[in-house]
Chains A and B, each alone.
Chain A
Amino acid sequence: MASATFVPTVTSAPATIDWGRTHYTPAWHQQEDFVARRLAGGIGDTLVFTEHEPVYTLGVRLGAASHLLWDAAELARRGIEVVETNRGGDITYHGPGQIVGYPILSLAPRKDLHAYLRFLEQVLINALGNLGLAAARRPGQTGIWLGPRKIAAIGVAVKRWVTYHGFALNVNNDLTPFNGIVPCGITDGTVTSMRQEFGRECDLTEVKAVLAAEFWGLLPRFFSETTDHTDKRG
């Protein structure tokens, strides 16, 4: 007979949801709502996909604002918002055709933010591999690279070990807005997209399906590993 005092924690099943096209700020508030619900046990681990309307977001890194090159008039003309956020990292751009992934994930099984970043990188590397691009980490810099060309950005936050914010993968989005910033403060590289690499539009639905498959496929091992076996040079 099992102990009568043992009450298992009941949480909802993991889920992938697609918010479609969103403005950045309401989506950010929605993320915070999801974090609260994840903390309360109302929802399980969740992977959210969205595409944002054109926006520059500033991370918490000092000097991020100085990496915005275009003035207010130029931003208004191009219809690009600017939002200061609480994620890690520097300035970046989001816009239609770029797949943004927001994992609302309880890190209770493994309270290691560095390992979580390496996990997100591996999800992107494996997904891009499936889709035919040989991406890799770049020593000393977050994000995912094809040699000197950055194809995905990563910037995360946690509240009581529940994650939010996440990654942005350039798929079909227009890359010219990256000319208006020093993306992530990087001066020795350029930005690319899947469309630019392949010379054709990619199927966003397929890319999201591959990302979700890699995310949920790698998650159990990420949780079960206790030490960091990822390549330290990356």
Chain B
Amino acid sequence: MTVPRKPSWLRARLPGGPGYHAVRQLVEHHGLHTVCQSAQCPNLGECWARGTATVMILGNICTRSCNFCAIQTGRPTEPDFGEPARVADAVARMNLRHVVITSVARDELADGGASVWAATIRAVRHRNPQTAIEVLVPDFKGHLPDIDTVLAARPDIFNHNVETVERLQKPVRVQARYDRSRAVLRHAKARGFTTKTGIMLGLGERQEEIEQTLRDIVSDGAEILTVGQYLQPTPQHLPVARWVTPEEFQHWKEFGLSIGLGVVESGPLVRSSYHADEQSQKYTGAEHLNTRNALASA
């Protein structure tokens, strides 16, 4: 079965404008990586024009080779132990009130990179005490002491994506597991954190499977959910099984809210950190909108 070409609702804005160039310059000058670039995010133009970016720490080479993800797989180099300072400085220069930090998986490190994670959170907070810090973490192979290392640094929002329904875990994210990701979310919840997760649609999942996934997420205590359309980054990645309509995304948003989620961000171009600053206000107890962004008006 062939899938028709990309529908009109997936056409994203081209990168450009003063905000975009300012963010790009900052990222390059600070030697940072962004998941926006590495994962070929369709919203890069929009977010960077607003002066925001999602920083990706621990390098840009991932030890895993998930079949949905554009990030390069390989054997990474030694972690950059001074990276937390540069991330903290970049957040300060962007004047972000809400920052999302993510990382590649570093399964070859004894702590999976947890110590770098914790230092990054602390450095960002020390330099930017008013900024809400959202982390989008890997599963640390389910090793709970590593998760605790990250949690000890007190991120404001703890995000870990289950990515897809249970049946499709193996083909979609080879070295990860549905129950393990759920255990990660439950652990952070048990420690009292606001938790968030996300799934992609269009990988071949069935309606009842999506429904069950959302129920699982609710039973694990997650407050925030993102739902977006899977896009095939290269021909070597999984093909798109279907284009989910904006109406169906709206349906999942309403369904998620009806079964107890606090915020559901659901739409074709929604990604993990999309409009994260708008979602966080409800949970961080303060307004953390990136509206007075330093670079957007540059």
Contact = CB atoms under 8 A, between A and B. Distances in A.
A146 interface: yes
A233 B112 CA distance: 12
Interface string B187-225: 000000000000000000000000000000000000000
Contacts of B119: 125, 128-129, 132-135
Interface stretch (B1-9, B81-89, B238-246, B285-293): B81-89
Interface string B107-119: 0001100011011
A36 interface: no
Interface residues of A, number: 19
A71 interface: no
A231 B82 CA distance: 23
Given A231-B111, A231-B145, A131 B85 contact: yes
Contacts of B86: 132
Given A139-B110, A231-B111, A131 B123 contact: yes
Interface string A133-149: 11110010000001100
B126 interface: yes
Contacts of B81: 133-135, 146-147, 197
Interface in A134-170: 134-136, 139, 146-147
B28 interface: no
Interface residues of B, number: 26
A146 B125 CA distance: 21
Contact of B122 (A126, A136, A139): A126
Interface in A90-149: 125-126, 128-136, 139, 146-147
A134 B82 CA distance: 7
A198 B116 CA distance: 16
B171 interface: no
Contacts of A210: 126
A197 B119 CA distance: 15
B78 interface: yes
Given A125-B115, A231-B111, A130 B122 contact: yes
A139 B83 CA distance: 23
A198 B110 contact: no
B229 interface: no
Contacts of B83: 134
B125 to A, nearest CB: 8
Interface string A213-234: 0000000000000000001010
Contacts of B149: 231
Given A139-B110, A231-B145, A231-B149, A132 B85 contact: yes
B32 interface: no
A136 B127 CA distance: 21
Nearest to B113: A134
B181 interface: no
Nearest to A218: B152
B79 interface: yes
Contact of A147 (B79, B85, B120): B79
Interface of A: 125-126, 128-136, 139, 146-147, 197-198, 210, 231, 233
Given A131-B126, A147-B78, 9 more contacts: A125-B115, A129-B118, A130-B123, A130-B125, A133-B119, A134-B84, A134-B116, A134-B119, A139-B110
Pairs A-B, 7 closest by C-beta atoms: A132-B85, A129-B119, A129-B122, A134-B119, A130-B126, A146-B81, A136-B115
